[in-house]
A = this chain, B = another copy of it.
């Protein structure tokens, strides 16, 4: 597996994309993205577990439901979440699919049906989409589609992200080079009214729907489901993976060696995009990796890592470069997992602070300096109970986060 510099959703064969500004955002920044595959794709997707779901999720599920459903395009707007917009919101999301299918057919001569288009939204909750602007945006985006449009599309799905997020990998399977490339946005649900993690991934690999969904579930669990900025699960979270088979070669059968290599590459790609999201958390000054080992189960390890990652006291201490391991111990203790104080060991980077239930003297001034100098830090938590482990990524919590989320007024 090899990383491809500047790679994105348009790196795999046959994928086109565009990002345009159509006035949904007051800022005049890009706010509508379109991703299209030249050939029909097998698709897999995961959506938010929030019980209040955005309209686009209802429509995506409808379009993915038929066993033999193929996907040709994804249309995405930023600046408006189309969530808590009632029945009208669902109509608007369906209309976006129809508009995209119509424009792709008339402008590009592609025979695409509305049910072959997926849709996603991110932005303010509870406000209707300005459908006239959306329609203009779709017309423009179809005109701008290109094999180099991945980065523009990554910009058009941003809300309060400070950087576009894109990446691609290549690997050889069955003597053919296959590519997996994606774009992502969001930072947990940290932005003011802008509440979404979105990720769109394309591949030219030959892989069936069931295997694709299985690989995606595995990768998402270890990447996007293992980051947190503020613990607020968005109503709009969406990851879509499309495979158009254009690389050629044999089909990647679930469970085969080729499948495991494909899944590993996909997981690496998702982790890279997920870490970009955590590092770009609103007001963040540090990317924080939390490695939990010695747990009875992966479930326990993940529960401990996420509880520490969401602790305000841990996050504010890290912002202050304070090696305050007592706050980590307290967060570990309240995690919904099997944990014992007597077997617990805590290390901040190279500084061991607590070993199997007893405090360990360490150089606090040096630990403070290390925290101050580091943009990426790792916390090691060994539960001393079993052999399972999990890693989670988060960021620190700064005054800037609060200011940003408080000073915004609807």
Question: Measuring CB to CB, which residues of chain A are less than 8 angstroms from any residue of chain B?
Answer: 49-53, 81, 83-87, 124-127, 189-190, 192-193, 195, 230-235, 310-313, 316-317, 319-327, 329-335, 339-341, 344, 353-354, 357-359, 364, 368, 397-399, 401-403, 405-410
Q: How far is the CA of A233 from the CA of B364 in the complex (A)?
A: 25
Assess whether A333 is in contact with B406, with CB atoms less than 8 Å apart: no
Q: How far is the CA of A323 from the CA of B402 in the complex (A)?
A: 16
Least CB distance from A83 to B in Å reads 7
Assess whether B84 is in contact with A410, with CB atoms less than 8 Å apart: no
Q: A126-B359, A357-B86 given as contacts; is B233 within 8 A of A330 (CB)?
A: yes
Name the CB-closest residue of B to A333.
B52
Assess whether B126 is in contact with A354, with CB atoms less than 8 Å apart: yes
Assess whether A405 is in contact with B320, with CB atoms less than 8 Å apart: yes
Find A83's partner among B124, B326, B403 (CB 8 Å cutoff).
B326
A233 to chain B: which residues have CB within 8 Å?
330, 333-334
Assess whether B311 is in contact with A232, with CB atoms less than 8 Å apart: yes
A323 to chain B: which residues have CB within 8 Å?
410
A407 to chain B: which residues have CB within 8 Å?
320
Assess whether A341 is in contact with B53, with CB atoms less than 8 Å apart: yes
Q: How far is the CA of A323 from the CA of B126 in the complex (A)?
A: 12
Assess whether A313 is in contact with B126, with CB atoms less than 8 Å apart: no
Q: How far is the CA of A349 from the CA of B322 in the complex (A)?
A: 39
Find A84's partner among B321, B329, B397, B402 (CB 8 Å cutoff).
B329
A398 to chain B: which residues have CB within 8 Å?
402, 406
Least CB distance from A361 to B in Å reads 10
The 16 listed contacts between A and B (C-beta, < 8 Å) are: A49-B334, A50-B330, A52-B332, A83-B326, A83-B329, A84-B326, A84-B357, A86-B359, A189-B330, A193-B326, A193-B327, A232-B331, A233-B333, A312-B405, A320-B406, A399-B403
Assess whether A409 is in contact with B368, with CB atoms less than 8 Å apart: yes
Assess whether B52 is in contact with A329, with CB atoms less than 8 Å apart: yes
Q: How far is the CA of A127 from the CA of B313 in the complex (A)?
A: 18
A357 to chain B: which residues have CB within 8 Å?
84, 86
Name the CB-closest residue of B to A320.
B406
A232 to chain B: which residues have CB within 8 Å?
311-313, 327, 330-331, 334
Assess whether A330 is in contact with B410, with CB atoms less than 8 Å apart: no
Name the CB-closest residue of B to A318.
B406
A331 to chain B: which residues have CB within 8 Å?
232
Find A193's partner among B124, B324, B359 (CB 8 Å cutoff).
B324
| Max chain B Cβ within 10 angstroms of own Cβ: one of A52, A235, A333, A406 | A52
Which 5 pairs between the two chains have the least Cβ-Cβ distance? A125-B326, A52-B333, A320-B406, A316-B405, A86-B358
Q: How far is the CA of A206 from the CA of B366 in the complex (A)?
A: 57
| Max chain B Cβ within 10 angstroms of own Cβ: one of A326, A332, A335, A353 | A326
Find A317's partner among B51, B87, B312, B406 (CB 8 Å cutoff).
B406
Assess whether A333 is in contact with B397, with CB atoms less than 8 Å apart: no
Q: A84-B354, A125-B327, A410-B322 given as contacts; is B399 within 8 A of A333 (CB)?
A: no
Least CB distance from A286 to B in Å reads 12
A334 to chain B: which residues have CB within 8 Å?
49-51, 232-233
Assess whether A52 is in contact with B341, with CB atoms less than 8 Å apart: yes
Least CB distance from A176 to B in Å reads 42
A324 to chain B: which residues have CB within 8 Å?
192-193, 410
A234 to chain B: which residues have CB within 8 Å?
330
Beyond known contacts A231-B312, A319-B406: 20 more, CB 8 A cutoff: A50-B334, A83-B330, A86-B358, A125-B330, A190-B313, A192-B317, A232-B312, A232-B327, A233-B330, A234-B330, A316-B401, A316-B406, A320-B407, A320-B408, A320-B409, A322-B409, A323-B410, A324-B410, A399-B399, A399-B403
